[in-house]
Each structure stands twice: as C-alpha cells, then as structure tokens.
Amino acid sequence: MQSRPRPSPAPAAASLAVVVPAFRTERHIRDVLTTIPPEVSLIVVVDDRSPDRTAAIVSELQGIDERIVLHRHDHNQGVGGAVTSGYRIALERGARIIVKMDGDGQMDPAQLGRLVDPIIRGRADYTKGNRFLHAAALGSMPTARRIGNLALSFLTKIASGYWNVFDPTNGYTAIHAEALSLLDTSRLGKRYFFETSMLVELGIAGAVVQDVPMPARYGDEQSSLSITKTLWEFPPKLVRGWLRRTWSQHFLRDFTPLALLLSAGLVMVTSGSVWGLAWWWRSWRTGIPASTGTVMLAVLPLILGVQCLLQALVLDLQAVPRATIQRRNRPRDRVPGDLPSFTRSNVATPSEGIGRAA
Ligand SMILES: Nc1nc2c(ncn2[C@@H]2O[C@H](COP(=O)(O)OP(=O)(O)OP(=O)(O)O)[C@@H](O)[C@H]2O)c(=O)[nH]1
Ligand SMILES: [Mg+2]
C-alpha cells in the first residue's frame, strides 16, 4: 500500500516531535511555536498553502529556533493532508512520539507533557485530548458544537470500537511511531474527518487509545468548521469505517464469537422484519388476520436477533485493545530510555493554561 510511512534511520534523532498544521494562522503561529517546551526536539510546521504571512513568520522563527522545519504544500490539502505530510517528515527524522498541535493556538503547549505521558510510560499508543472530562473547559465550548460533538462521539465509538474514548474531533493528539507505521495513511480523512478517521484506522491496527482531560481554548481564531456540514458528511463515512473495522477485527484477523452473533443477529432481524411486514401488508389488504404461527415466525427471529446483536455489542465493548503495540513489539516492560521525561514541574495540571478561554 503506497502511503504507509515507515520509521527510517534518522538524519538527526528526534525523540519527541510536534507537527503543526497551519492555514491562515499568522496571528497565532508565533505564540504557538515560541511556547513549545524544550523537551521537544523537532517541530514540523506544514504550511497548507496559506494565503497570509504564516510561512514568512515561520521562516523568520527558524532563525532563532533550529528545531523548526517548514514544509510548504504547493496546493491546499486540508488539515488531514497537512498532518499526514508532517507525520511523514517526523518519521523520516526518527521521531518516536509525534504530537499534533494546531497552528491556531487552541492547544496549550503547557499540556503537552500530560498528553505524551501515557505513551512514554508504555500505557498507550495514541493519546488525545478530551474536553468533556474537563468540566471547566466545557463552559468555553459553544453549545451547538457541544451537542454535535456528543452525537458524533457516540457514532465514532461504534465505528472505531473505542468505547472508552470521547470527543473524537479533538485535534490535540500524540502517537507512537510504531503505531503510526502500521496505519494506511491513504485512508485517513484529508479534511475535518482526519481525527475521527485516525481512530477508525487505529481500531483496525489494534492500538491502545487513551483520553487525557484537556481544557478547550476558544479565542479570536476563525473557525472554518461547519457543524451542519459535519453532521451531514460524517455518518456515511463512519458506517464505512465500522464495516471495515468489524470485518478486519472480528472476521479477518480472528473469527470471534462476535462475528457469529453479528451474522446470526443480522440474518434473524432482517428475515423476521421482512416476513412480519409482508404478512402485515397482506392482512391489511385482505382483512384476514394472520395466524398465531405466522406471527410467531416474525416475532421469534426478531427477538432472538435483537438479543444476538446486543450480545455482539457487549463483546465489542470488551474487545477494546488493552496491550499496546509498542509493548507487543518490546517484550520487556520498560520505559524507553531515549524519550524525554516530563517531571512534575513541567507537566501542567488539567486546569492550567486556560488563559484564553472564552
Ligand atoms: N481550516 C483549515 N485549516 C487547516 C487547513 N490546513 C491546515 N489547517 C490547520 O489545521 C488546524 C485545524 O483547523 P481548524 O479550522 O482550526 O479546525 P478545528 O480546530 O477542528 O476547528 P475550530 O474549533 O473551529 O478551530 C489549524 O491549525 C489550521 O491552521 C485547511 O485547509 N483548512
Ligand atoms: Mg482550530
């Protein structure tokens, strides 16, 4: 598959990298880049053909911070396309953990330590912010966005199989290189579906995903994300994601009891419904009530089918990945020595850094 990035020998070893997708961020990019903590050894800014001064400001900052690499797209590819380019560059330069931090200043660099901590400790392959775990932060999220997010979060749980995570569109994320190298990046959403599609692909790869409570920051940055467009565009993509993930996880890689229950449940619910509706239509047209046996032939498969589907749902809930890819590949239970350690003093608490909350 063409675009699976592989970690390759590093020109200069970069343990912890930050990828910054940037589009129309001239008012924020300077603050973002100058507050990234010193534990980060590589900062890849991807200018997504921004029509403003974003690239000029980044070039200027390269003169005072040699960690910064600027990659310019010759045509706009959307946030997903920008992050995918950044991931590729970070892997080529030997990054072990790659954080995605938006260029519009909505993600607080002071929270970076908390975000990467579970990955450094080998407890997760992918971490993401969750604004819903952080009560104070919820107040700063616009109401329409909160409701849309709740609905999409539930659909994403079904599609990705990560019943333990919430707030799937949160863009403050960190990933271990070994998990990233297993993903087929050509399947990732190019635009706003990117974060959600990451969860579906991680579900297919069997990575451990963990939420980290995170304050949301809504300031004066311009939002290009349309709630109605999102609610219209995401569900069909999520259904396709669910089909691919379920097929891969429960039918291809392993034929699990869930596969049996799901197949039996779908057959029974469909046949019971079709039989029941056909006889109901016939009785309605002729005025002759259906016999008890005919009714039972519709009701029984329906009840049994729904029970099978519910049981399949419970098994899916229990199948959330628990063994990290990094530990599966590294048998001994140890923290890798070449990753930066965030001490108590430089790991922010969840309540810190909400300075610009609206
Ligand atoms: N809108 C947009 N952002 C892009 C694009 N390419 C890269 N980005 C960057 O991707 C990041 C996320 O985009 P936003 O539009 O802020 O999306 P969001 O944070 O999910 O939504 P908001 O909460 O409305 O800010 C920002 O840092 C942008 O600068 C693009 O083509 N369009
Ligand atoms: Mg934003």
pLDDT tens for 135-144 read: 666 666 778 7
CATH code of the domain occupying 16-251+322-346: 3.90.550.10
The structural domains of the chain, with segments of one domain joined by +, span 16-251+322-346, 257-318
Centre of ligand 2 to C-alpha 106, Å, is: 6
Nearest ligand, measured from the Cα of 49: 1
| pTM for this model (two decimals) | 0.85
Label residue 4 by pLDDT band (50, 70, 90): low
CB of 23 closer than 6 A to ligand 1? Answer: yes
CB of 76 closer than 6 A to ligand 1? Answer: yes
CB of 104 closer than 6 A to ligand 1? Answer: yes
Distances (CA, A) of 227 to 14, 137, 202, 208, 232: 37, 19, 25, 29, 9
pLDDT tens for 31-77 read: 999 999 999 999 999 999 999 999 999 999 999 999 999 999 999 99
With 50 as the cut, is the pLDDT of residue 351 above it?
A: no
CB of 148 closer than 6 A to ligand 1? Answer: no
Q: What is the mean predicted confidence (pLDDT) over 174-199?
A: 94
The answer to whether residues 256 and 206 touch, using CB atoms and an 8 Å cutoff, is no
Our mutation pick for probing the ligand 1 site, out of 20, 23, 30, 101, counting the most ligand atoms within 8 A of Cβ, is 23
With 60 as the cut, is the pLDDT of residue 296 above it?
A: yes
CA-to-CA distance for 116 and 347, rounded, in angstroms? 10
Residues 6+ apart with CB under 8 A from 1: 184, 186
CB under 5 Å of ion ligand 2: residues: 104, 106
CB of 82 closer than 6 A to ligand 1? Answer: yes
CB of 47 closer than 6 A to ligand 1? Answer: no
In the chain, alpha helices (H): 29-34, 54-62, 78-92, 112-120, 135-138, 143-160, 177-180, 194-205, 227-246, 257-286, 292-318, 325-329
Label residue 225 by pLDDT band (50, 70, 90): low
Centre of ligand 2 to C-alpha 165, Å, is: 20
Label residue 151 by pLDDT band (50, 70, 90): confident
Centre of ligand 1 to C-alpha 299, Å, is: 50
Phi, psi of 142 (to 5 degrees): -55, 145
Centre of ligand 2 to C-alpha 28, Å, is: 11
> Which 3-state string (H, E, C) describes 137-155?
HHCCCCHHHHHHHHHHHHH
Nearest ligand, measured from the Cα of 20: 1
CB of 224 closer than 6 A to ligand 1? Answer: yes
With 70 as the cut, is the pLDDT of residue 238 above it?
A: yes
Our mutation pick for probing the ligand 1 site, out of 25, 104, 131, 230, counting the most ligand atoms within 8 A of Cβ, is 104
Q: State the burial class of residue 283 (Cβ atoms within 10 Å of its Cβ: 0-12, 13-18, 19+).
A: middle
What is the model's pLDDT at position 167? 87
